[in-house]
Amino acid sequence: MKLNDVQLYRLSIAGRTSSALSLLGVATIFTTFAFSENFRSPTHRIMLINAFYNLFDFIATMISVSGPAAGDESGLCRFQGFCLQMFPVADVLWTLAMTWDVVLVVYYHYEPERLRRLEKKYLVVITTLTFVPALVFLFIKTSDKGPIYGGVVFWCSISPNWVLFRIIFYYAPIWFIIVLVFILYIVIGHEIFQLRHELMLTNNDALILSSTASPSNESIQQRTNRDDLKHLEGPLIRQQSAVSLRKFLLMPILFFLALLTTWVAPTINRIYAFRHPGQEPYPLMVAVAALGSLRGFWNGIIFVSMRSKARK
């Protein structure tokens, strides 16, 4: 779709403003994690790792329309296309990793240290799944379709000439993961509702992250009254490193909602473009440029607002 210079300029302003806010959100995550121990929960740690991936994502969106303007064969366009293929997909995979941590806590009472040991595995799997196709696409080119990475109005990504690749390696896995995360939260919510009093919840809504603590905690409940239990839970919580179940659940859910709002507009735009090539509404394009680059801003707000008071 051909846009005039004024329209392209407005698209660039929308995208770069959102990208700047997201880079500020990433910087907030780095700074807060570095200087405060109250932001070191397992979910905070995953959000920190994800912020490193987001950094390259938002650098790419900050390039904005300069990528397509440089030409499909340019290093700038190819770099932008690589980043916008790898890092947005990695973002949704880190959301799945956070959700899986919640599953492990609720169903298997994983302790923070056990969750931390999983981070290296998450890192290897997510990086491999996203880096390999993004790298391979740099070297794919045909005489009739051109290179895979090409200009798509407001940035370089998988070219419209390779629309099937864009569906298979981009939108399909992203929405599959989003739906999977949604289903997992439904299952988790049902489990918590059914077994709330059996999940080692203390009176201040803390969940003791230890599978070994369950029998002793149940026996304490059988042998003591409510006041005695409240008194005895204090040493036990400190020994087992408890976290707020409400905040442990709320933070990944908010992260998921921020992710969901990010992908609605681009997906609608892509479906519309598929059905009506070259006729995408300009306001929808502006929404894609703005919302598609704002994810890091919401992540920064969520990261700071979910303070881990239990670490005191």
pLDDT value for 220:
42
Among 7-16, 160-169, 235-244, 258-267, where is mean pLDDT lowest? 235-244
Weakest mean pLDDT among 155-159, 237-241, 292-296: 237-241
Q: Which residue has the higher pLDDT, 72 or 246?
A: 72
**Domain topology for 5-193+246-311:** Rhopdopsin 7-helix transmembrane proteins (1.20.1070)
Does pLDDT of 198 surpass 70?
no
Band of pLDDT at residue 312, cut at 50, 70 and 90: very low
Q: Are 46 and 94 in contact (CB under 8 A)?
A: yes
Helices (runs of H) and strands (runs of E) counted in the chain = 12, 6
For residues 94-102, average pLDDT: 91
**Closest to 283 in 3D by CA, of 294, 271, 269:** 269
In this prediction, residue 57 carries a pLDDT of 93
Beta-sheet strands, E only, within 68-180: 141-142, 146-147, 149-151, 156-158
Distances (CA, A) of 179 to 165, 259, 277: 20, 12, 27
43 CB-contact burial (10 Å; exposed 0-12 / middle 13-18 / buried 19+): buried
pLDDT tens-place string over residues 180-192:
998 998 888 777 7
Q: What is the per-residue DSSP string for 237-269?
A: HHHHT-EEHHHHHHHHHHHHHHHHHHHHHHHHH
Choice between 100 and 111, residue whose per-residue pLDDT is larger: 100
Q: What is the pLDDT of residue 188?
A: 85
Q: Is the pLDDT of residue 77 over 70?
A: yes
Residue 245's pLDDT is: 60
**Of the ranges 65-69, 116-120, 147-151, 290-294, which one carries the lowest mean pLDDT score?**
290-294
pLDDT at site 197: 58
The whole-number average pLDDT for the span 278-290 is 84
Mean pLDDT of 129-150: 94
Longest dimension (CA), the chain: 78
Predicted pLDDT of residue 257:
83
Report the percent of the chain where pLDDT is more than 90: 39
Q: Is 147 left (phi over 0), alpha (psi -120 to 50) or beta?
A: beta
pLDDT, tens digit, for every residue of 202-253?
544 555 444 333 444 444 444 445 555 444 444 743 434 744 566 567 777 8
What's the mean per-residue pLDDT of the chain? 81
pLDDT tens, position by position, 2-54: 788 898 899 899 999 999 999 999 999 999 999 988 888 888 899 999 999 99
